[in-house]
Structure 1
Amino acid sequence: MTDDLPVRIVGGRVVTDPGFGLVPMVWLPVHGQVIAKIPPRTGNRRWLHKTVGIRCPEFSGDRWNLPRSSLVRLVTAAIDRYGFIVLWRDMSRLSKCTRACLEATGVECHCSCLGAHHGQDAAGWFERVGDAVVADHGEITRTAVVYGARGSDADAVVYDGELAGERYCVDRAGRRDWPAAAQFMCASCMTVRAAVWDHCHTHGYVRAPLCNRCNTRYWRGWRPRHGRATHSRNFDDSYYRSCPGHTDTRRACSA
């Protein structure tokens, strides 16, 4: 399973398939703020503020210092934006993994599984993909986990505007009645199952479920020199019209 993923951890390092691009990495220390390294891109501060809901994201060097309370929202939003996120977690005390851990809805864990099983039984918006990598650092045990969008066992169907007019959000309460994106075919290429919910960054509305490849086409590019194949001939961006603020002017809605 791990070898088939475009993002994996090999020898303690994050490895991505050629042309896939960088993915965000988040470090959750035993105490203190969340440390996040987000791939450089115009608008990162606005994304953290508007989409993730962080009032004053603090940038220091090449990383962001963010409140621990934003962790679940950050993981949810990052998966919708990048497809995957890598979470590094430090633990200083281990205790027995309990049913409460399996039923937890977040990603911060305080038991012996180091997050490997945390939230497995929860109807969340992301799940662990691949194997958890665990390293012993003396008094600290560190685990690295790759998270991706939660899949679906149902047969994929064509999206028919189930979330039309819905404001995009990353809070669990706000997504309570949302279907999983993986229940639908990608609304752009219509060749593979969708993975994430795309939204208009200008107006803030959900547009359509997309596969990771179509979701990142504009800012990662399909240029062969970057190692990416050309896009599917089935490519269609008419899903832009799902945003209530859309007009015929392309710039009216942002990717």
Structure 2
Amino acid sequence: MTDDLPVRIVDGHAVTQPGVGPVALVWLPLNGQVVAKLPPRKGNRRWLHETVGIRSPDFNDDRWNLPRSSLVRLVTAAVDRYGFIVLWRDMSRLSQCTRACLEAMGAECHCSCLGAHHGQDAAGWFERVGDAVVADRGECTRTAVVYGARGSDADATVYDGNLAGERYRVDRTGRRNWPTAAQFMCACCMTVRAVVWDHCHTHGFVRAPLCNRCNTRHWLGWRPRHGRATHSRNLDDSYYRWCPKHSDGRRLCSA
């Protein structure tokens, strides 16, 4: 049921289930730059520059103006960071759905299918969780699409350093041979299936697959009274060792 979705679009607004926490909001207009509103957090500029790969992120008031070419990387990185991202898209109703749409890897689409068929013949690093038509503007239709981490139908296994020594990447080429995080149990609590890839923000290496709660347990301000669910008490930080520069303890890894 729609009400069971972790993030829903209600009257044009993103509504999250208790325990999900704030998510990234992005608008893709017909033309011009991508506009992103990120949950307030120290280090957002550094994250956009170093992780998403945007040379000069432009911050205006409470939102970021970013190049269109960064959209797929932004969605991939935001899913890993926040668990979900809501993408508002303005699409032309006159354009036609093509083979390029069916095989597309990214989140940008201008076809008449309004993204319903987008990427169905390709495996990406995120998948649609929910969507809604927000406004019909004649030749242009605005839709809101919720993306989350791609799941897995296989039984979850224990992570054993499959990506040890790999640099964290959010581009299609860099993740070509990566397994999905959902193939493993969360390396921190070992009680639920993982959904995202965690990485060391200090050194840039992939560490382990985590569930959303464990991935965000250190974030200041995300408390149960603010709608953030408490994480499992069964925490194990030994997955930090998958960062090659964490071994001697002298070069600390960031959460």
Q: What TM-score, normalized to structure 2?
A: 0.94
Q: How far 1:25 sits from its partner (Å)?
A: 0.7
**Counterpart for residue 28 of structure 2:** 28
Deviation, 1:249, is 4.5
Residue number in structure 2 paired with 1:120:
120
Q: Secondary structure at the match of 1:116?
A: coil
Match of residue 164 from structure 2 = 164
Q: Say if 1:240 and 1:98 are closer, same or farther in 2 by CA, change over 3 A.
A: same
Q: Which position in structure 2 is the counterpart of 1:72? A: 72
1:114-147 Cα offsets, whole Å, 9 max, x none, are 2232112211101111233342024421010000
Report the RMSD for the aligned CA atoms in angstroms. 1.8
Q: Which amino acid aligns with 1:69?
A: S
Q: Secondary structure at the match of 1:42?
A: coil
Aligned length: 255
| Residue type at the aligned position of 2:68 | R
2:90–2:140: 8 Å Cα contact kept in structure 1? yes
The 8 Å contact of residues 2 and 129 in structure 1, kept in 2 or not, is answered as no
Alignment gaps of 5+ in structure 1: none
In the alignment, which residue of structure 2 is the partner of 1:14? 14
The residue correspondences of 1:78-157 to structure 2 (distance < 5 A) are 78-157=78-157
Cα distance in 2 for partners of 1:229, 1:84 equals 15
Structure 1 position 213, deviation (Å)? 1.2
* C-alpha distance in structure 1 between counterparts of 2:237 and 2:222, whole Å: 15
Return 28-37 or 109-118, whichever deviates more: 109-118
- Aligned residue for 2:226? 226
Q: Report if aligned partners of 2:26, 2:88 keep a CA contact under 8 Å in 1.
A: yes
Tell me how far 1:205 sits from its aligned partner. 0.3
**In the TM superposition, what is the alpha-carbon distance from 1:3 to its structure 2 partner?**
2.0
Alignment-derived partner of residue 184 in structure 1? 184
Deviates most, 6-15 or 99-108: 99-108
The residue number in structure 2 matching 1:56 is 56
Contact 2:92–2:110 at 8 Å: present in 1 too? no
The code of the aligned residue for 1:167 comes to R
1:94–1:110 Cα contact (<8 Å) kept: no
1:217 CA displacement: 0.9
**Structure 2: which 5+ runs fail to align?**
none
Q: 2:72 aligns to what SS in structure 1?
A: helix
Residues 84-134 of structure 1 deviation map (CA, whole Å, 9 limit, x = unaligned): 000000023433323332211111112112223211221110111123334
Q: 1:221 to 1:157 in 2, by over 3 A?
A: farther
Letter of the aligned partner of 1:218 in structure 2?
H
> Which residue of 2 is the match for residue 244 of structure 1?
244
Amino acid of the residue matched to residue 105 of structure 2?
Answer: T
Distance in 2 between the 1:167 and 1:235 partners?
24
Worse-matched range after superposition: 113-122 or 174-183 = 113-122
TM-score normalized with structure 1 length? 0.94
Shift of residue 23, structure 1, vs aligned partner: 0.7
State how far apart, in whole Å, the 2-side matches of 1:175 and 1:223 are: 32
- Residue in 2 aligned with 1:235? 235
Amino acid at match of 2:162: E
Counterparts of 2:82 and 2:227 in 1: how far apart (Å)?
17
- Per the alignment, residue 204 of structure 2 pairs with 204
> Shift of the alpha carbon at 1:43?
0.4
Identity %: 84
